[in-house]
Amino acid sequence: MFFGELDDFTRNEVSQEVDPEILFMQGEEQIDKELIAAKVGTEFIIIPKSNLNHIELDKDERQVLVDGVEYQLYKGKNFEDSREIELFMDEEGYKTYKINNYLIDLKDQELNREPITRDNVIKMWDNPFIITSVREDMLLIEMLPYELKDEYILDARQVRRLQFESIDEFNEFIYTTELYDFDEEKAKEDEQMTFPFGGLKI
Distances (CA, A) of 132 to 76, 120, 137, 179, 185: 24, 8, 15, 14, 22
Asked if 100 and 37 sit in the same domain, the reply is: yes
Question: In whole angstroms, what is the distance from residue 59 CA to residue 28 CA?
Answer: 22
Specify if 193 maps to a domain: no
Asked if 36 and 100 sit in the same domain, the reply is: yes
Q: What secondary structure does DSSP assign to 86-144, as a single string?
A: HHHHTSTTS--EEGGGTBSSHHHHHHTSPPP-TT-EEEETTEEEEEEEEEGGGTEEEEE
Question: 40, 178, 173: which is closest to 106 by C-alpha?
Answer: 173
Give residue-wise pLDDT tens across range 66-107.
988 989 899 998 988 999 999 998 887 889 999 888 888 654
Specify if 84 maps to a domain: yes
Specify if 56 maps to a domain: yes
How many domains does the chain fold into? 2
Asked if 97 and 133 sit in the same domain, the reply is: no
**Considering only 44-48, 57-61, 173-177, 193-197, which range has the smallest mean pLDDT?**
193-197
Asked if 99 and 135 sit in the same domain, the reply is: no
What pTM value is reported for the model?
Answer: 0.44
Question: 140, 139, 141, 138: which is closest to 129 by C-alpha?
Answer: 141
Specify if 75 maps to a domain: yes
Domain residues for 85?
30-104
Asked if 43 and 100 sit in the same domain, the reply is: yes
CB atoms within 10 A of CB 141: 24
